[in-house]
Structure 1
Amino acid sequence: MFEIIKAGGWLMVPIVLCSVIAIAIIVERYWALRLAKVKPKDQLPKVWMWIKNQELDSSKLKELKGGSLFGYILSSGLTASKHGREAMKDAIQEAGTHVAHEMEKFLSTLGTIAAVSPLLGLLGTVLGMIEVFTAIMVQGTGNTGVLAGGISQALITTAAGLSVAIPALIFHRALSRRVDELLVSMEQDSAKLVDAIHSDASGN
């Protein structure tokens, strides 16, 4: 493996670096976007039970806020609920924007790696072909070793760039889709809580 990287020339360094960063981002984001961390299944029923039993106080809100990203949204809405439906919806929307930003962390970097890696490979191809044609001009076509070295460099960097870009693009799309699904789910459940609290209040 090291011999292949060495044969690809100096452009293999940024390509390998891109692959390491991409792997780190993918692992970190999948860990960070676990359902148990973002939106635990029991969180909304627990909040509703607190409300029904009139147990919702500042300590419960603090626990909710630190429990998960969804808990952060709910606690923001519940804190503002005493000011009316619109204030609660605005607080939830503002918290949702913050949570969306948190969930999308590093995804733009992963997208950039997916876009840049094949370009680095293409640059390696161009430099390899320049080396080949320079060798032909200086030594003619007799020195096959030099020609093979340039062509090898061109092919290795192209393959390496694509090998990094394709998985990075796939995981970028998959993670973006996961973020969207989680945000929609949190938005729907938050809206249910708003309706439940204020229909209850208007009913009373």
Structure 2
Amino acid sequence: MENQVAQAVSDPSFLQTLAVFMDEGGIFMWIILATWTFGIAIALERIKSLFTYDIDGSSLMNMIKKHVLNNDVQKAIQSCSNTNALLPMVLKSGLKRANQEKDQIQDAVDSTILEVAPKIEKRMSYLGLVANVSTLIGLLGTIYGLIESFAAVANADPSSKAKLLALGISKAMNTTAFGLISAISIMVIHNILSNKSDKIISEVEEYSLKLVDLLGTKKRQMPPVPAVPETPKAA
């Protein structure tokens, strides 16, 4: 199947058809192509970043819980190191304050969430913009092509007007088709990436809350530190 697709793309007739398709649409086709390329570049960057930021939150939380219950917070902190994922970064900030009050742990976690959240949503709005702009440029190209077509047939021979008008409309519709191809593909990618970012954010919020509760409960269960008796001063 892949060989057939590659052969079709490399086929001279396919390339010639694609060249004619682009040429007939006029300058608007190249504007849509540039917009589409911009959107694909952003999508590739976001795909790479979001899959780097993601991690198996359940496995990580189980590992941290095991270390915390064994009173080994340092190992829990180490399990959150050496990774670019965002969830370990948030949990690590809470673990560093494991000996402090629950409110202080919560503040540390919340501030880190505010720090990492923009990384997840970064440039995502551009994908929606690219999809909308591609559609509108396609429609604009179609309207422009229709205006040119009607202007061309205005002074043409009556017997050839229908043929010229049909040819002009066919060319004008190329921009709409290409604009929709660009918009649909970017919208699909945007939806996939939005679901991925929502999953990362929900896991960060869920497991950070569980960590705060875990550390707060663990601290209440720990026996109080016995007071050291003061040595009587020599008279």
User: So what's the TM-score if we normalise by structure 2?
Assistant: 0.74
Deviations 1:157-191 (A, max 9, x none): 00111111122222222321221122112211111
Whether 2:47 is the aligned partner of 1:30: answer yes
Q: Percent identity?
A: 31
Match of 2:143? Answer: 126
Pairing of 1:71-90 with structure 2 (within 5 A): 71-90=88-107
Residue 61 of structure 1 deviates from its aligned partner by: 4.4
Match of 1:171? Answer: 189
Residue 86 of structure 1 deviates from its aligned partner by: 1.9
Match of 1:188? Answer: 206
RMSD of aligned alpha carbons: 2.6
Give, as a single letter, the amino acid of the residue that structure 2 aligns with 1:203. Q
User: So what's the TM-score if we normalise by structure 1?
Assistant: 0.84
Whether 2:55 is the aligned partner of 1:39: answer yes
Once the two structures are overlaid, the 10-residue window that deviates more, 191-200 or 176-185, is 176-185
* Residues 18 and 65 (structure 1), Cα distance of their counterparts in 2 relative to 1, 3 Å cut: farther
Q: Provide the secondary structure at the position in 2 that maps to 1:139.
A: coil
Deviations 1:71-123 (A, max 9, x none): 11112222344442222222222222332221222211111011111100100
Given that residues 87 and 203 in structure 2 are in contact (C-alpha distance below 8 angstroms), is that contact kept between their aligned partners in structure 1? Answer: no
Whether 2:215 is the aligned partner of 1:197: answer yes
Q: For 2:110 and 2:172, how far apart are their aligned partners in 1?
A: 50
Q: Which of 124, 127, 140 does residue 110 from structure 1 map onto? A: 127
Residue 10 of structure 1 deviates from its aligned partner by: 0.4
Q: Which of 156, 159, 167 does residue 174 from structure 2 map onto? A: 156
Q: For 2:191 and 2:163, how far apart are their aligned partners in 1?
A: 42
* Residues 191 and 145 (structure 1), Cα distance of their counterparts in 2 relative to 1, 3 Å cut: same
Q: For 2:218 and 2:73, how far apart are their aligned partners in 1?
A: 16
* Residues 24 and 115 (structure 1), Cα distance of their counterparts in 2 relative to 1, 3 Å cut: same
- Number of aligned positions between the proteins: 202
* Residues 138 and 63 (structure 1), Cα distance of their counterparts in 2 relative to 1, 3 Å cut: farther
Once the two structures are overlaid, the 10-residue window that deviates more, 184-193 or 90-99, is 90-99
Once the two structures are overlaid, the 10-residue window that deviates more, 62-71 or 113-122, is 62-71
Give, as a single letter, the amino acid of the residue that structure 1 aligns with 2:175. T
Q: Provide the secondary structure at the position in 2 that maps to 1:39.
A: coil
Residue 150 of structure 1 deviates from its aligned partner by: 2.9
Give, as a single letter, the amino acid of the residue that structure 2 aligns with 1:33. L
Q: For 1:94 and 1:140, how far apart are their aligned partners in 2?
A: 74
Name the structure with the higher helix share.
1
> Which runs of 5 or more structure 2 residues have no equivalent in the other structure?
1-17, 223-235
Q: For 2:118 and 2:167, how far apart are their aligned partners in 1?
A: 46
Q: Provide the secondary structure at the position in 1 that maps to 2:27.
A: coil
> Which runs of 5 or more structure 1 residues have no equivalent in the other structure?
none
Once the two structures are overlaid, the 10-residue window that deviates more, 119-128 or 105-114, is 105-114
Residue 145 of structure 1 deviates from its aligned partner by: 6.6
Given that residues 124 and 153 in structure 1 are in contact (C-alpha distance below 8 angstroms), is that contact kept between their aligned partners in structure 2? Answer: no
